[in-house]
Structure 1
Amino acid sequence: MNTPSPARDLPFLSNPDKDNFIDGRWRAPESGKRIDTFNPSNGQLLATLARGDKADVEAAVAAARRAFTGPWSRFSPAQRQQLIIRFADLFAQHFDELTLLESLDMGAPLHTRLRPSKNGAIQTILYFAGQARNIQGDTIPNSLPGDVTTMTFKAPVGVVGGIIPWNGPLLGQMHILGPVLATGCTAVLKPAEDASLSVLRTAELLMEAGLPPGVVNVVTGLGAEAGAALAAHPDVNRIAFTGSTATGREIIKASAGNMKRLQLELGGKSPDIVFADADLDQAVPGVAMGVYSNSGQICFAGTRVFVQRSIQDEFVERFAAYGKTLKVGDPLAQDTRLGPLISSRQLDRVLSFVEVAEKEGARLASGGARLGGDLSCGFYIEPTVFSGVTNSMTIAQEEIFGPVASIIAFDTLDEALTLANATPYGLASGVWTSNVNTALKMVHGIQAGTVWVNCYGLVDPSVGFGGYKESGYGWKGGQTQIDGYLYQKAAYLNVS
């Protein structure tokens, strides 16, 4: 398979050597080291990134601190809002370019996943633009002697370190950039080494929108080097991280040095529960895409599919048949629904889970193999479904991050709740039923940050998203996220 011609047509890739973006300009890595990044649809070299390390992070954080105390600190809420709106306009104008970069970089289907998300992406940016003028304090009556006026107000926390995952960097960065720009903070972003290009291009657009140098910086590189240095840096006030629970634990440890504030969206093993009274015409495709969207590379993927025993056989048959209708292939093709996995490393990981599942007694109902032929140069795997799974099996407990569904039978509502909550994770969940009482009992009983009923994966920026238990803490979206980028001050004015 040849490199898709659109890659050669992107001006941003005319020079495939990409530096760090620090203080408003491109800056080569201090070490001179670089990382190759590959197109997962064909395994070919796409670009060469700076392998940033502690020295580059030091420079980026220093630039962010200067910007925080410099001209950026004098931007009014209205000016910050206007800048975000200008950025939203540029983002919309360049959306096709950005999504093509993203598709080439991490393999998401261009026409059936990335470009249909345009409205949601723009709405997310504009939501934070609105929040720029919605930061308020209070005047509070007090019981102090004399003529003392008491009030509170909110101030930006300072420099924010944003560590962005590879499974959706274009939109993932918006939940860091949005509150940073709305509140007056500054940022150093560290995108994943497997998918950094859309974040680097976005930095250029921010400068074009009029952002002062140093407000947003980007250091590419390995997590163990650049990411670890950012998490431990004493002049970073907040870390926003999306990624694995294991890495989240390391970030918590690193944050202790200067008591950083944290927002952690970590792993998941989300339950999606189908009751016998569910509309299967709605539930089957809904549950399937809760597993297979982005080739299963979504933290909240509903890969533990609990099905009431009386409809289990029918559901498995229909679920497997639906998976076979999903075209797996070139992410630039119009009708592709599933693209490749991000890397050969991730492909091997997913296939190893398939092998373990069969050894533990799960029944392979469909899929389970790497795709060959014209797709053999990429990292493609069939949509996969296992039946006869028990909740204690490896595939029902560990996050696979691939298009692998585990179907587990249950009999009663109470059993479904017990099984759903029998996991260290608590990121998201789904319920499919025509009974509102059943729906409400599950909403209240499931231990997860989000419960979707008769739908899956919907996220609105005004509502937000977050985890529970080992899926992390903190919130993306809504007023809660804005508050996380601010700290509260109290003022006592003695005017007697």
Structure 2
Amino acid sequence: MTTDECYVLIRHSLTRHSSLAHSTFKKMEHFINNQRHTPDSGQYIEVINPCTAEVVGTCARGNTADVHAALTSAGAAFQTWKKQPAAHRVKLQHEAARLMRLYSYEIADMLARELGRPLAGCIHEISRSADLLDFYAEEALRMKGEIPLHNLEGEKALVVRQPIGVVVAITPFNYPITLLCMKIGAALPMGCTVVAKPSEDTPLSTLRLAEIFKEAGYPEGVFNVITGYGHEIGNALVEHPITSKIAFTGGTNTGKRIGALAAAHNKRVTLELGGQSPVIVCEEADLSVACPAIVKHAFANSGQFCYRVNRVYVHQNVYEAFVEKITALANRLKVGDPFSNSDMGPMVNRKIYQNSEVQVADALQKGGTVKTGGSRLTGEDYDKGWFFPPTIIADTNHSMKIMTEETFGPVIGVMKFSTNEEAVALGNDSEYGLAAYVFSGQLGTGLRMAEELEAGSVWVNNIHRSYQDVPFGGVKQSGIGREKGRYGLEAYTELKTIYLNY
């Protein structure tokens, strides 16, 4: 389906659901207890289209009073929600997934305007998020306890899992629906209730999602959304006595602060943090496979995601050919408005944009060579937005920020290596450990490297989306805990041992 066809379908969807269309781009309040909730402050935050600098909507600016209202609602709902049959909770989640697909074009249109990502990518995010909800729902029905075979007359020990309680889900701007569904999709069917806090850059799609969950039949207080600036309400969300767990995706420094604050109150956490993901391209690698995969992954969503390709280590004997191929592929990518068949949109805001600008300047100062891109796009189509082209920097080394710091933008560094042992050492020379990638014509070599690389996930000879049924998360400064699969569901439960005498 082309982007133009997607856009026609969006308009058709908005016409069919006219009441929803009129509510998409206007002042939106918190969503608490299944209804809109006026902010205690009476203040709102403008949501800006990063392509045009136009205001596409406003969201409530929350304060501690709003936090208390949302968590109180979730705490009251938990007392009844945790007692609902698992099959009932699963049925509601399947219905929510169905409605997400029904309204996918409307949500995607909203997301494209607040984030700037090409429309087709936004539609894919909604569809994939609905798939994740369905997977989690089915997996929840397969969760089990244990009865150890102690063989003691008149005694049994029962090991059961119980919902952890009220969950605070804090999500970033880059994949606001998917990253939220990674949390609520596991928490809700296990019997937890949720207060979500989306990024102030992309809150509208999350607020719309909450309305969809209400339509699906979720009771009052089970899924709430509060919006605002993180520094104003973040501590209150974490420290509030009703909060049992914090599930956070975002920057490492913020995650460490949340982790420290949660630890002070013995609250559970799942922290999916920053990444600086390496790729190793061995001498015998198939460049016709490696180069397209690396370019597609490095520049998806304008490089604004945590496990993207950030730095590439290429064997010296194929280095020149590799750089030539990925440069040619990057030059084919179209940067522009999300509704114009673009491959890449703008950066979401000035702060995120400046990461790329600073890292390019640093690399050039230290001897790097820009093969393509490297500076902000200008002209009539670009002047109002934060557009940065796909950028490849060759001749890099580990004195450069591009090889050591998270970029969160469409810039990659490329560096030579001479031995596989050197390549693994370079890949592990980072405080991060979220993802890594290896391309090798020898399967044994690829597997050995995958085992040695310090990362939560390693792809060998391809790069694709992480699967729904396997764990996702990082090591070192890239986080604590895992999401997806049964591992993600288990993270929203507490184990309890019951000693039964009869």
TM-score normalized by the length of structure 1: 0.95
Deviation of the 1:171 alpha carbon: 1.1
Question: Equivalent residue for 1:215?
Answer: 222
Find the aligned partners of 1:117 and 1:483 in 2 and give their Cα distance: 24
1:419 aligned onto 2:426 = yes
Deviation of the 1:238 alpha carbon: 0.7
Question: Equivalent residue for 1:94?
Answer: 103
Does the CA contact (< 8 Å) of 2:118 and 2:343 recur in 1?
yes
Aligned amino acid, residue 122 of structure 2: L
Does the CA contact (< 8 Å) of 2:137 and 2:189 recur in 1?
yes
Find the aligned partners of 1:226 and 1:16 in 2 and give their Cα distance: 23
Question: Equivalent residue for 2:149?
Answer: 141
Does the CA contact (< 8 Å) of 2:51 and 2:385 recur in 1?
yes
Q: What CA deviation, in whole Å up to 9, does each residue of 1:400-435 have, x standing for no partner?
A: 110001001111110000000000000001111121
Q: Which runs of 5+ in 1 are unaligned?
A: none
Aligned amino acid, residue 234 of structure 2: G
Question: Equivalent residue for 1:453?
Answer: 460
Which one of 38, 62, 69 corresponds to residue 79 of structure 2?
69
Find the aligned partners of 2:436 and 2:253 in 1 and give their Cα distance: 21
- The verdict on how the C-alpha distance between 1:13 and 1:347 changes in structure 2, with shifts beyond 3 A counting, is farther
1:127 aligned onto 2:138 = no
Find the aligned partners of 2:194 and 2:22 in 1 and give their Cα distance: 23
Question: Equivalent residue for 2:435?
Answer: 428
Find the aligned partners of 1:227 and 1:430 in 2 and give their Cα distance: 34
Deviates more, 1:448-457 or 1:215-224: 448-457
Does the CA contact (< 8 Å) of 1:429 and 1:450 recur in 2?
yes
Which one of 252, 256, 261 corresponds to residue 254 of structure 1?
261
Deviation of the 1:15 alpha carbon: 5.4
Identity of aligned residues (%): 36
Does the CA contact (< 8 Å) of 1:162 and 1:187 recur in 2?
yes
3-state DSSP class of the match of 1:264?
A: strand
Deviates more, 1:341-350 or 1:44-53: 341-350
Q: Which runs of 5+ in 2 are unaligned?
A: 1-6
1:21 aligned onto 2:70 = no
3-state DSSP class of the match of 2:147?
A: strand
Find the aligned partners of 1:121 and 1:59 in 2 and give their Cα distance: 28
Does the CA contact (< 8 Å) of 1:12 and 1:201 recur in 2?
no
Which one of 202, 209, 218 corresponds to residue 195 of structure 1?
202
Q: What CA deviation, in whole Å up to 9, does each residue of 1:52-82 have, x standing for no partner?
A: 1211111100000000003x23320111111
Deviation of the 1:457 alpha carbon: 3.7
- The verdict on how the C-alpha distance between 1:130 and 1:447 changes in structure 2, with shifts beyond 3 A counting, is same
Does the CA contact (< 8 Å) of 1:157 and 1:487 recur in 2?
yes
Does the CA contact (< 8 Å) of 1:13 and 1:47 recur in 2?
no
Question: Equivalent residue for 2:289?
Answer: 282
Deviation of the 1:226 alpha carbon: 2.0
Find the aligned partners of 2:164 and 2:125 in 1 and give their Cα distance: 31
Runs of at least 4 residues of structure 1 off by over 6 A?
4-10
3-state DSSP class of the match of 1:408?
A: strand
Question: Equivalent residue for 1:396?
Answer: 403
Q: What CA deviation, in whole Å up to 9, does each residue of 1:312-354 have, x standing for no partner?
A: 1111111111111000001112x21111100122222321221
Q: What CA deviation, in whole Å up to 9, does each residue of 1:283-330 have, x standing for no partner?
A: 111111221111010101111111111111111111111111000001
Give the RMSD, CA atoms, in angstroms.
Answer: 1.7
Find the aligned partners of 1:137 and 1:238 in 2 and give their Cα distance: 21
| Aligned ranges 1:23-422 → 2 under 5 Å | 23-70=33-80, 72-111=81-120, 113-117=121-125, 119-142=127-150, 147-333=154-340, 335-373=341-379, 374-422=381-429
Deviation of the 1:46 alpha carbon: 1.1
Deviation of the 1:99 alpha carbon: 1.3
Deviates more, 1:353-362 or 1:76-85: 353-362
- The verdict on how the C-alpha distance between 1:384 and 1:67 changes in structure 2, with shifts beyond 3 A counting, is same
Question: Equivalent residue for 1:444?
Answer: 451
3-state DSSP class of the match of 2:270?
A: strand
Find the aligned partners of 2:130 and 2:471 in 1 and give their Cα distance: 15
Aligned amino acid, residue 138 of structure 1: E
Deviation of the 1:169 alpha carbon: 0.3
Q: What CA deviation, in whole Å up to 9, does each residue of 1:218-261 have, x standing for no partner?
A: 00011111223212222111111000110011101110243111
Find the aligned partners of 2:199 and 2:422 in 1 and give their Cα distance: 39
Find the aligned partners of 2:82 and 2:126 in 1 and give their Cα distance: 31
3-state DSSP class of the match of 2:318?
A: helix
- The verdict on how the C-alpha distance between 1:311 and 1:203 changes in structure 2, with shifts beyond 3 A counting, is same
Find the aligned partners of 1:230 and 1:440 in 2 and give their Cα distance: 42
- The verdict on how the C-alpha distance between 1:118 and 1:338 changes in structure 2, with shifts beyond 3 A counting, is same
Number of aligned residue pairs:
488
3-state DSSP class of the match of 1:256?
A: helix
Deviates more, 1:72-81 or 1:323-332: 72-81
Does the CA contact (< 8 Å) of 1:107 and 1:340 recur in 2?
yes
3-state DSSP class of the match of 1:402?
A: coil
3-state DSSP class of the match of 1:135?
A: coil
Aligned amino acid, residue 105 of structure 1: E
Find the aligned partners of 2:475 and 2:25 in 1 and give their Cα distance: 43
Does the CA contact (< 8 Å) of 1:234 and 1:257 recur in 2?
no
Find the aligned partners of 2:24 and 2:136 in 1 and give their Cα distance: 33
- The verdict on how the C-alpha distance between 1:205 and 1:119 changes in structure 2, with shifts beyond 3 A counting, is closer
Find the aligned partners of 2:329 and 2:464 in 1 and give their Cα distance: 18
Find the aligned partners of 1:108 and 1:227 in 2 and give their Cα distance: 27
